[in-house]
Structure 1
């Protein structure tokens, strides 16, 4: 500060010194103003005009501003760009203050603490996360302030950082606070840059550990609090940060969840990305993901819970089957399910409305939405009374109707209130006697004005005389210049216009004082009454939050049953014998994308006996990767409790799903495609267990043929001999099919291909036996490479094959071909054979049918 500063600028600098990391929105009248560097940043980022103002001693300072009533949109744009915004309001009435008005920062808005609907994703959480490390313990605490959810998880040992990074990817936080020093922070920063590009990151290095660790006990029950000091620290810093930004007691943060991965199927970052479970790899959106296929939720709360279920599938068979039972009963009672869905469609995101109630930012429309949401609960209770499965029965019992709150809001708040709380029009008639009396005065004023206007016209003889009002001059009588000679002497000129004069009279001025006083009192009293109603709801927030969780659970179950009915999903049997058996399984996402062709289903058998490792060979573009992802997704869906796209299935829960699929480099860390691949394989081999499911696609592609083949073979042998996990392994190295001769639990499979001369057709069928060709040249031909190039490649291939005959032995090829022929015949012609009514057709019809079937069989075998 400088001695030359104006009083206002001195006040600004004092407040800004306490908020150096935020852009300060400084309230001046009807505008939020920004100065100095804040103004330059805001002007650039918001594309608004940068001006200047007098700052004392003839010095001008940079300045820009936005209207207070439109500030939310500007704040949203800054938050989306990763900035923090401090809101500084006038906390005194300027009319009743001598000198400069006192101002204070009432809240700080950061990416992880936003509450505005325009800034929050409807069906995703908006997490603020804090990371702290003590010794060999690394802890993460996270809260979604908009919903009241709060969780923590701790990691031990040398592999704690990769595990924490996987959790960060699941949470996808909007903001991350790093408390103190973190070992291997370079690795953490690289992960954030590559996978959490939109996350705002800050450091929190100086804090009073003793004071901070006492905060969790003020919010959560003693039995929920962690024993770990590192976890207590991360939770304490999280709560301290939230209190400092929101300036509120945050009583809606009252339930703490400990993430225990012994209860859930673990999906690491690579698996979530490769399988596109909740976010696609193209733009991070929901479209063309498993979540996009299954999401028929009616509420934002249900949408968030469904996403959570898919990212944290269950391990416990009993809990999986409990969900399955509920979905099955909803399928069996479509009429009741539709009644439930109709009721849910009227439910707003009142989980987030409750947060706005708690922090005092909920408006009248929020309360109407809360009332409408709670009003459907009796209908839900009536429908749930008709179900008998445990989960649905428990839901019906747990739902509370909150009828007293519904009646209060219904009696008090108008059905279509304005957004602003300061303009009146919030409270219904007959709710409050004093308010009704003031309104009566305001209504009578209109009649009085009309009466006075009529009397003055008659008294003066000026037929065009009229009474008007504006905020600057109040009430006035307006007379055109042509009638100015008839103006009485008691009229006092107030304003001259181009075509008229405006006047006041003592009588009109007395009336104005009375009426405007009543209008101001109406607006003030309505705000007080509304605040009382909003505050009265606070005492029930914990119970209403529980209701919100129950509605989200019901909505999620209804969504999964809706998807099961629409897409003909089957209920998988859940077993604990380690086997995965799928009959006619389909990829849940790909089958939805096909428009002109049917998805070809395939079987899967994996166990710990003779079918532990599937080595899958076949050409590019034939469907190997789709098939392997399909198996992983069906297992994941089954452990979510969902029905799956298959004719029938038996699924034993797995503890982790690992995928190494696709080729990608990591330019930020200087890693080649091959290095990224080897790192991912190393992580899989480090963490996989006999209860895991591993999906490996084309290991060893990024190096020489012999190097790649050697690594691929060693990986299979290591998994087979040491880990013994159920494994799907796709490869172009046909030599690896020999492994089936040495390991009794390794089986060869390939993708069926039909050849017609130089043309090939990919049949998308996974059949027993290894492939003897890669068909790479055929794929190049399909891609449109020049014919001369294709011909030259064919000649080179023939020379290479002559000099280096394939390692696959001919008997195996013949056996594969025989199996393939049999499989294709059955799949293509079985339906025709079964449709023939042998006892009713004529001999001639029988000969025609036999001829047609023989022709098709010859085509299938390549003889035509």
Structure 2
């Protein structure tokens, strides 16, 4: 179930790789030594400069002594191959003392054997045996008459007898004691080495922090130089007392999607939140041109989620100081980005998909501020239509009236669009599409072309049957769904007409409405 030798070997390999990584990082810092003074960025200059520099020291720790200690502490190649750390002299005093005692005892045993050779007048005497049977003096039978009385017979073979003496037994006892102390010290060496490494945690952590900063800066630099298409330097506008939070992005592209799929076919989009759309002529009806909430509608697979993720990523990149894939980018600072995207449950915690969505929505409503950015994708889809619509409506109202933060809220609830179409703090936008052979009786004959362009206004339909056809649902199933959809729509229209009758109180108006419908 548990192989200690393999575990120790793997642990030692990881430890040696860690040391090699710090050696490399130290080489990187030394390479910057002559160039760091020329850096315009104070952050980069401090990050790449060693703290041991006398004039204008930086934050990168000087690891020379630490790395030298571990280089000289033990044989790295032997430890990597055998999975055992054997300390060099001076690292583990207990191990050094035990090894010295072993050498002394073995020397005493060899000296005792020389004395016995002289005493018996036999130069062929040797020690025989291993383990518990070691250090038995092997005497030829021709010399047995000269064997002293203190010799104790231990074993024999043809032509030879093997003996021990009290002196040998005493030395063996000393030898076994020293070997046991050596084994104990050897087992404790790995712990001591790791403890020595842990004592230098402050320096290791400082080096990692500097490396992290360098890694981010280099990554941002490489992306800014090699991004597909046009990139721009973002403008982060400091908020003033009378300045409302806003996002203004022209012809932006998703930084990950463009890199993954080549970027040639990606359709750029404008996103304006909290500011007027300066790419189109504003009309007198555009009372919500400075709205902070944008209700995003559009066909299934039309690009709504991609647009929202794009805005979130570009906001982060802009505040990091990276060039962004857009023609122009102006934003006021965002304190936090809250997202409610995708659908997932927490089955081990007993939390359903809808419960997880509501928990995340609750966190947004509790912690979002005026300067936050909220991205919410199809809230309310995990429950009944009326329940989901009602929850989505109340959340939008809360974000609009109380929180008043920048928000992109995508939905397929078209009644929600009607509800907030005249709210001055809410703007309507949709992912455009082109419909050919539009047929109200048989939507399966329609051909939908996604334009992936974010435009003003609301999308009239979600074209769910087109998505069903693309997913290869059986034709009979789709037609049955279309028939059922018409029944639902007729029911809703009847209810609407009944409400009109009660409100107007006129029988003639009701008949006229029925004729029109």
Same fold? TM cut 0.5: yes
How do 1:711-730 residues align onto structure 2 when only pairs under 5 Å count?
711-730=391-410
Does residue 772 in structure 1 map to residue 460 in structure 2? yes
Q: Which residue of 2 aligns with 1:470?
A: 130
Q: How many positions carry a matched residue from both structures?
A: 442
CA distance in 2 between partners of 1:672 and 1:644 (Å): 37
Q: Which residue of 1 aligns with 2:503?
A: none
Q: Which residue of 1 aligns with 2:210?
A: 550
TM-score, with structure 2 as normaliser: 0.63
Higher relative contact order (CA 8 A, sep 6+): 2
How do 1:145-164 residues align onto structure 2 when only pairs under 5 Å count?
none
Distance apart, 1:496 and its partner CA: 6.9
Q: RMSD over aligned Cα, in angstroms?
A: 5.6
Q: Which residue of 1 aligns with 2:284?
A: none
Does residue 650 in structure 1 map to residue 330 in structure 2? yes
Q: Which residue of 2 aligns with 1:503?
A: 162
Does residue 604 in structure 1 map to residue 271 in structure 2? yes
Is residue 421–residue 527 contact of structure 1 (8 Å, CA) maintained in 2?
A: no
Does residue 692 in structure 1 map to residue 333 in structure 2? no
Aligned partner (choices 393, 399, 403) of residue 60 of structure 2:
399
Is residue 377–residue 400 contact of structure 1 (8 Å, CA) maintained in 2?
A: no
Distance apart, 1:513 and its partner CA: 7.9
Distance apart, 1:749 and its partner CA: 1.8
Distance apart, 1:752 and its partner CA: 2.5
CA shift in 2, pair 1:763/1:471, >3 Å: farther
CA distance in 2 between partners of 1:666 and 1:534 (Å): 38
CA distance in 2 between partners of 1:670 and 1:534 (Å): 41
TM-superposition CA deviations, 1:350-400 (whole Å, max 9, x none): 7xxxxxxxxxxxxxxxxx887776566433534534533110112212234
CA shift in 2, pair 1:785/1:723, >3 Å: same
Rg comparison, structure with higher value? 2
In structure 2, runs of 5+ residues without a counterpart are: 50-57, 240-244, 276-288, 438-445, 494-517
Is residue 749–residue 768 contact of structure 1 (8 Å, CA) maintained in 2?
A: yes
Distance apart, 1:790 and its partner CA: 2.0
CA distance in 1 between partners of 2:194 and 2:344 (Å): 53
How do 1:31-430 residues align onto structure 2 when only pairs under 5 Å count?
69=4, 348=18, 377-382=29-34, 384-395=36-47, 396=49, 397-411=58-72, 413-416=74-77, 418=79, 425-427=86-88
CA distance in 1 between partners of 2:29 and 2:17 (Å): 9
CA distance in 1 between partners of 2:199 and 2:352 (Å): 57
CA shift in 2, pair 1:442/1:563, >3 Å: farther
Aligned partner (choices 792, 796, 805) of residue 480 of structure 2:
792
Q: Which residue of 1 aligns with 2:312?
A: 632
CA distance in 1 between partners of 2:102 and 2:129 (Å): 19
Q: Which residue of 2 aligns with 1:580?
A: 247
Q: Which residue of 2 aligns with 1:830?
A: none
CA distance in 2 between partners of 1:424 and 1:747 (Å): 67
CA distance in 2 between partners of 1:375 and 1:799 (Å): 73
TM-score, with structure 1 as normaliser: 0.41
Distance apart, 1:553 and its partner CA: 3.3
SS in structure 2 of the partner of residue 774 of structure 1: coil
CA distance in 2 between partners of 1:677 and 1:424 (Å): 52
CA distance in 2 between partners of 1:567 and 1:601 (Å): 14
Distance apart, 1:773 and its partner CA: 1.9
CA shift in 2, pair 1:794/1:390, >3 Å: same
Is residue 379–residue 388 contact of structure 2 (8 Å, CA) maintained in 1?
A: yes
CA distance in 1 between partners of 2:192 and 2:386 (Å): 77
CA shift in 2, pair 1:698/1:643, >3 Å: same
Is residue 575–residue 652 contact of structure 1 (8 Å, CA) maintained in 2?
A: yes
Distance apart, 1:730 and its partner CA: 1.1
CA distance in 1 between partners of 2:333 and 2:160 (Å): 86
CA shift in 2, pair 1:118/1:778, >3 Å: farther
Is residue 156–residue 162 contact of structure 2 (8 Å, CA) maintained in 1?
A: no
Does residue 733 in structure 1 map to residue 385 in structure 2? no
CA shift in 2, pair 1:426/1:562, >3 Å: farther
Distance apart, 1:426 and its partner CA: 1.7
